[in-house]
Amino acid sequence: MDAALAEAARRLIDLALAEDLGERGDITSRFFVPEENRSLAAMVARDEAVLAGVEIAASVFESVDPDVTLTFEHSDGAAVSPGDTVLTIAGASRSLLAAERTALNFVQRLSGIATLTREFVRRVAGTGVGILDTRKTTPGWRLLEKAAVKAGGGRNHRLGLHDAAMVKDNHLAALGGEPAAALAAGVEALHLAFPGTLVEVEADRLDQARAFLGVEGVSVILLDNMSLDDLRAAVALRNDLAPAVKLEASGGVTLDTVAAIAETGVDFISSGALTHSARAADFGLDFSD
């Protein structure tokens, strides 16, 4: 994990453990499991899945008890099958029991995102199209969920409002004046303040796409909820007017439609479903007898 991801994970781990343990701690283990008992446990996949978050799960165990011994059997991005062990943990039985649910919650949520992303990527294989995530993430979980998208073979869109400019329909409505001219002025001002910052602009009609292709400094045009015919027409316009500009298709993208969208010739397809609609993958923690 890089430093930013590790720090984001640490904050969430602390919050999650405080939520689960409260002021009394794990009273079940405290009063029913002898303090001196030690256990060996295996985190095991119950589903076909793409693994994500295993290092974060390991950090949960270490947060509860720095003396646990961890052995990684698989890394993020690995395809796992039911019965596959991804992590083994040895240590005080009480510690393993106290960390169990929180560790599983992280790996199940993040592996679900990675698994869904891998399926989107598989369906566009051979087209050269990149699958992008969005900012439709669980509050506080963004860096973790975006790491899970990468584990599944997807690519990250901007991290937040701070690292790239994305002029969407509501911005255009608030601009006032002629959109392309106002957009050009905004791009110029942004690049004076923050040189090299990527600028993307949303278009939901072909006439908008044509106008925005003529604005210097726009790197990407988001084609929102366009039909397949309009997407193909937008690609032809781009190829003719501004070949360096990238095109991103978005809006209502599903596993059933993503291949046809990719075949229109766009460069990227973004989907909020990667993070807001992924089903959690099933993992369990099995203690050895």
Q: Region 21-50: what's the mean pLDDT?
A: 97
Q: How many domains does the chain have?
A: 2
Q: Region 63-70: what's the mean pLDDT?
A: 98
Specify whether 260 is located in the same domain as 130: yes
Q: In this predicted structure, what is the pLDDT of residue 176?
A: 76
Q: In this predicted structure, what is the pLDDT of residue 84?
A: 99
72 confidence band (pLDDT: 50, 70, 90): very high
Specify whether 110 is located in the same domain as 131: no
Whole-model pTM: value is 0.95
Among this protein's residues, is 136 annotated catalytic?
yes
Specify whether 146 is located in the same domain as 51: no
Among this protein's residues, is 11 annotated catalytic?
no
Specify whether 140 is located in the same domain as 108: no
Among this protein's residues, is 146 annotated catalytic?
no
Mean pLDDT, the chain, whole residue set: 96
Q: Region 194-209: what's the mean pLDDT?
A: 96
Q: What percent of the chain has pLDDT over 70?
A: 100
Which residue among the candidates 224, 230, 248, 267 is catalytic per the annotation?
224
**CATH number of the domain that residue 133 is part of:** 3.20.20.70
173 confidence band (pLDDT: 50, 70, 90): confident
Which residue among the candidates 11, 38, 101, 279 is catalytic per the annotation?
101
Specify whether 178 is located in the same domain as 229: yes
Q: What percent of the chain has pLDDT over 90?
A: 94
Q: What is the pLDDT of residues 124-139, one digit of tens each?
A: 999 999 999 999 999 9
Q: In this predicted structure, what is the pLDDT of residue 180?
A: 87
Decide the pairing of beta strands 85-92 and 69-72. antiparallel
Specify whether 134 is located in the same domain as 252: yes
Specify whether 59 is located in the same domain as 147: no
Specify whether 102 is located in the same domain as 160: no
Q: Region 113-121: what's the mean pLDDT?
A: 99
Check whether 172 has a pLDDT greater than 90.
no
**CATH number of the domain that residue 47 is part of:** 3.90.1170.20
Asked if residues 61 and 95 have their Cβ atoms less than 8 Å apart, the reply is yes
Q: In this predicted structure, what is the pLDDT of residue 271?
A: 97
Among this protein's residues, is 200 annotated catalytic?
no
In three-state secondary structure terms, 102 is helix
- CB count, 10 Å around CB of 44? 19
Specify whether 81 is located in the same domain as 23: yes
Which residue among the candidates 11, 30, 168, 279 is catalytic per the annotation?
168
19 confidence band (pLDDT: 50, 70, 90): very high
Q: Which of 174-178, 189-193, 275-279 has the lowest mean pLDDT?
A: 174-178
252 confidence band (pLDDT: 50, 70, 90): confident
Rounded Cα distance between 111 and 160, Å, is: 22
Tokens for 224? 């929102």
Asked if residues 252 and 225 have their Cβ atoms less than 8 Å apart, the reply is yes
User: What's the residue count for the chain?
Assistant: 289
Specify whether 34 is located in the same domain as 176: no
CA 163 from centroid of its chain's CA atoms = 16
Asked if residues 62 and 68 have their Cβ atoms less than 8 Å apart, the reply is yes
Q: In this predicted structure, what is the pLDDT of residue 126?
A: 95
Q: Region 39-44: what's the mean pLDDT?
A: 98
Rounded Cα distance between 241 and 236, Å, is: 9
**Tokens 């039909």 label which residue?**
227
178 confidence band (pLDDT: 50, 70, 90): confident
Domain that residue 77 falls in: 3-114+279-287
Q: Region 213-239: what's the mean pLDDT?
A: 97
Specify whether 129 is located in the same domain as 209: yes
Specify whether 106 is located in the same domain as 135: no
Which residue among the candidates 135, 136, 232, 246 is catalytic per the annotation?
136
Residue type, 215: V
Q: In this predicted structure, what is the pLDDT of residue 175?
A: 80
Q: Write the CB contacts of 182 (distance below 8 Å, at least 6 apart in sequence).
A: 175, 176
Which residue among the candidates 26, 100, 202, 267 is catalytic per the annotation?
202
